[in-house]
Chains A and B, each alone.
Chain A
Amino acid sequence: MTSSIALRAKAEVEAARLPALLARAEHLAGAVLLGAHGRRRAGVGDDFWQYRPAQIGDSRRRIDHRRSAMGDQEFVRESEWQIAQSVMLWVDQGASMRFTSDANLPQKVDRARLLGLAVAILLQRAGERVGLTGTALPPRSGAIQIQRLAEMFCKDDTADYSPPEHRAMIPQARAVFISDFMGDIGAVTLALTKAADRGVRGVLCHVLDPSEEAFPFSGRTIFESVGGTLSHETLKASDLKSRYLARLAERKAELQRLCALTGWHYGLHHTDASAQAALLWLYGALDTRSGVTA
């Protein structure tokens, strides 16, 4: 009994989170106006293209009865052919993302999920297929996919630093990696080179907390990772600042180098900055329209 009640309660809590994330993502995405990119010919799509007389071989279900009832001839409603691009998201769910230095700032993972979902909504509105890297949720179109994405985003990973998922990459697709990239750089290198091999291009969104950039610590300190697997003790934290910042800069430079090598875009976002600016940049960098060949 207890377990079912607990499960129910937990489910309610989880379900309560979902609409909030969705609503925020929708809200964020609503700020970006866009149009679907039609192919200027009849095909599979949602938008009206033309009525043409029904021909033999046309399924009866395709007859547009509203138009046909105006005369004796039967018409078929054709819609414009719209092609959809597959975009694969990877949002770092690792424990290191569940960190914020200030109660007024969102956790990095919150911001990452929000950006991920918002860009997914924009892509979905543009008619693209959105999914996750890996096999858990392959790209699909339609509004229901956003729900599924939101569900997937709500799952936390227990590992301290989770490596980018690079399996089951769809060739020539697009990818968005959102993470703090604090973990092993090798996994990122592997994922990006593998993606480049398959012709997948995309965006790296580097999300950092302001304190990770500023390192405002002093005194004898034991630094621990959020998951608690790593720890480092220092007697004078303020002495470490310059060396830490140098390493952080090195990490950023490495990521940028990788991106340049593989044709990806690299963007840095801090959780104290506006999510909207990051979203615009993300969407612009993704630039699906120019990336799709007609």
Chain B
Amino acid sequence: MAAIHDLECRGVRKRFGAFVAVDGVSFGIPSGSFFSILGPSGCGKTTLLRMIAGFEEPSEGDILIKGRSVLSLAPNRRNVKLVFQHLALFPMMNVAENIAYGLRCKGVARGEIARRTADVLERVGLPHAGSKDIGQLSGGQKQRIAIARCMVLDPDVLLLDEPLGALDLKLREQMKIELKMLQSQFGTTFVYITHDQSEALVMSDRVAVMNHGRFEQVGAPRELYHDPVTAFVAGFVGDSNRWPGRVLDRDPAGVRVETDSGLTLAACEAGGVLRRGDAVEVFVRPESISVTGAQATDATDATDGSGEHNRQAGRIEGTLFNGANSRILVRTSTGEQVEADLPQRGPDIGFENGAPVVLAWERTGSKCFARAGEDPAG
């Protein structure tokens, strides 16, 4: 018997007419963790969140908070608080009134309200903001007040619906860290909804990747990044080179794949057993590929997909400079375009456009999945 989860969903399904927005989602979130639901827009993550908050009723399944079903509870009776996408701070109240609102609804005594309001403002680092109007706050301050307004009520779970979406990039980076700090400081379970993988990866203890109403994979950010179990996760989380192809043959260590443009690769099966001739997609992360300079002559010989290592010759087409994350674009001799990390150290190679290079990566760096819509068994 597992420990009681702060939030647990069991087979939750939601239909809008013929459309299934959430399709049998089950998960449990242990106390005090930062859990993200990551998915493209329209994947059903907001509907799931609204069911947890009580604004929608599941068509099937059960939702439990601290081990008790909350389906029969009205939204205002659930101890689950929600930070809205546009924060939904009440414009006709000042900061302190916004925070006091929930306490007043609970019937907390006046003095106690003042004390707790001041306390939570202190904790979010805005001790003197109580008398300010909402319009006087900056984007980041509003963010913190929206969280404070929920946290002052001591919720079992705090839901956050893409609250960083409206902020500019710099502030968003800063708020990611701040949110993470706030979460560990309050120790409350956060459920964070986002379509931005970097937000999910940076802040979360665990991330669920959602697509078409289902969870594709749930795991720690590291697992999702390095061991995706579906093609969707491999493509959605992090950057990858992505090539469609077919299985040429199997060997004990994995498969050999020929891409549609004729490149032969050694790959490993990441999403289940494949058979010869299956349509597949191969994902290779840019940082798995090492780039070395080459003489134009060995470049053609270097192409080799038969062994444990992949080696491909090609010519540089361009450089994408981005500091530590700089990349180069290489056109292989078979015509594929490959993105690879620019080596930061090592022999000084003249990475000019048109220069011949050799790309190399381990077999485990090529993740191979049956192509979406084509059952590997079929």
Q: Is the pairing of A and B real?
A: no
